[in-house]
Amino acid sequence: MRVSRSLPAALALALLCSSLNAPPARAADSGPIKIAVITDMSGVYAALAGPGAVEATKMAVEDFGGKVLGRTVEVVGIDHRNNGPDAAIKAREAYDNGADLALDMTNSAVALAVASVAKEKKKLAIVTGGASSALTGASCNRYTYHYAYDTYALAASTGANIAGTSNGKTWYALVPNYAFGTQMLADFTAAIERKGGKIQKADLYPFGPTTDFSSYLLAAKNSGAQVLGLFNAGADTVNSMKQVKQFGIDKVMKVAVGLGFLSDVDALPDVFAGSRITTSWYWNEDKAARAWADKYAKRMHGLRPTDIQASDYSAATQWLNAVKAVGTTEGDKVQGYLDNRQFNDFYAKGGEWRGRDHRVIHEMYVVDILPKEQVKEPHAWFKIVQTIPPGRAFRPESQSVCKKDW
């Protein structure tokens, strides 16, 4: 049998090869510097990040001058297809081919997978779009930073904002029974209770996707609670919001959507109108934001950037600044420079790269989503109702569970 006969030969060759195998050559300190934007190019997060994220990163590089340390900077867009193993392989390959930074990773599973690879390769990864607070908690590592938002920030903003009002004290929560959902519930419970409110009931529904929320929504309506908290994401949020409107629940309860983005409202404006969410940035929040959004719109056919896309621009710029300052792209050195550094740009007000757990903090904004009639120009869906300062928006350092090993 051919296979068995060639087995010893295969083993011999294997030993020979592994002894000859040199480690992959580092794109020596003279080739181009590469930023790998690992994002969802075609799936559910494509509008939130996707090609827009790659474009935003390219804008950052161009505005920086296209070069740093005398080397050109290249931006490579990689589709992670919402698949952890796929993303990990592509990240590995990108790092081995000379990428010094992995950026975006919108999708928590992907973010965690790439963070693992970053640690192994000792190269930096900055997660903008993933939500999991585990990135700065149990899964924290020296080479990974969490840039835009996390579940704690959402809770500390939306939760605190609504619970701080007199008709926002009692909540009914709809929670999908998986890591994101239960984390949201935990974070929101804490935030609401800090303001003297309480979650009357939390309905954990099986994460499926579930398409029918009628039993939960009717229970919510009948509970007499003042606020309906939807601690889900994606299709679940859309389905539950549609049914909220169907049952007329938004007329008797305030609706807090745990996680929502500009791109979601662009797709389904009627569904989200009237609800309250938290965002890390809004394109029309001030002159500087708007100026950048105008530049983005020119390149993206009039679309307005989401906060994640803006965060990619911001993170890329900050990283390039750091590389220039330390004179190398080496992960350890850049990380050493970034830790505890404070900064401000059009995206991050009061920004700081926290050294304790690599959580990047900045202002967060609680916004109401306007119905079509009140929207003054295309994509101007948000109305900021409260600004949360960085110190309050993110988990305090003292409560971090990150086992810092650097």
Indicate the helix (H) or strand (E) that contains 137: none
CB atoms under 10 Å from CB of 18, counted, come to 8
Whole-number minimum distance, CB 292 to other proteins, in Å?
24
Residue 168 vs residues 147, 161, 197, 227: alpha-carbon distances, Å: 29, 9, 7, 6
Asked if 102 and 91 touch (Cβ cutoff 8 Å), the reply is: yes
Q: Is 7 in the site for other proteins (CB under 8 A)?
A: yes
Q: Are strands 227-230 and 170-176 parallel, antiparallel or unpaired?
A: parallel
Of the candidates 310, 267, 302, which has an alpha carbon nearest to the alpha carbon of residue 285? 310
Whole-number minimum distance, CB 14 to other proteins, in Å?
3
Contacting residue, 63, 64, 67, 92, with other proteins by CB under 8 A = 92
Pick 263 or 329: Cβ nearer other proteins: 263
Q: Is 214 in the site for other proteins (CB under 8 A)?
A: yes
Residue 400 vs residues 118, 175, 243, 291: alpha-carbon distances, Å: 21, 24, 37, 36
Q: Which region, judged by CB under 8 A, interacts with other proteins, from 205-213, 294-302, 347-355, 379-387?
A: 205-213
Dihedral angle over CA of 323, 121, 74, 340, nearest 10: -30
Interacting positions 94-113 with other proteins (CB under 8 A): 96, 108-109, 112-113
Pick 261 or 281: Cβ nearer other proteins: 261
The stretches of 21-78 forming alpha helices (DSSP H) are: 50-64
Pick 121 or 362: Cβ nearer other proteins: 121
AA letter at 242: K
Pick 68 or 131: Cβ nearer other proteins: 131
Residue 279 vs residues 21, 34, 154, 155, 240: alpha-carbon distances, Å: 48, 29, 8, 11, 20
227-266 footprint of other proteins as x/- string (CB under 8 A):
--------x--xx--xx--xxx--------------xx--
Whole-number minimum distance, CB 47 to other proteins, in Å?
6
Q: Is 211 in the site for other proteins (CB under 8 A)?
A: yes
Q: Which two tokens stand for residue 132?
A: 């999991």
Pick 69 or 204: Cβ nearer other proteins: 204
Q: Is 223 in the site for other proteins (CB under 8 A)?
A: no
Q: Is 164 in the site for other proteins (CB under 8 A)?
A: no
AA letter at 284: N
Q: Which region, judged by CB under 8 A, interacts with other proteins, from 174-182, 279-287, 367-375, 395-403?
A: 174-182
Of the candidates 299, 301, 295, which has an alpha carbon nearest to the alpha carbon of residue 266? 301
Q: Which region, judged by CB under 8 A, interacts with other proteins, from 91-99, 146-154, 347-355, 387-395?
A: 91-99
Q: Which two tokens stand for residue 288?
A: 């500087």
Interacting positions 31-60 with other proteins (CB under 8 A): 41-44, 46-47
Of the candidates 233, 253, 109, which has an alpha carbon nearest to the alpha carbon of residue 182? 233
Q: Which region, judged by CB under 8 A, interacts with other proteins, from 11-19, 282-290, 325-333, 348-356?
A: 11-19
Interacting positions 124-153 with other proteins (CB under 8 A): 132, 134, 139
Residue 2, judged by CB atoms within 10 A of its CB (0-12, 13-18, 19+), counts as exposed
Pick 119 or 354: Cβ nearer other proteins: 119
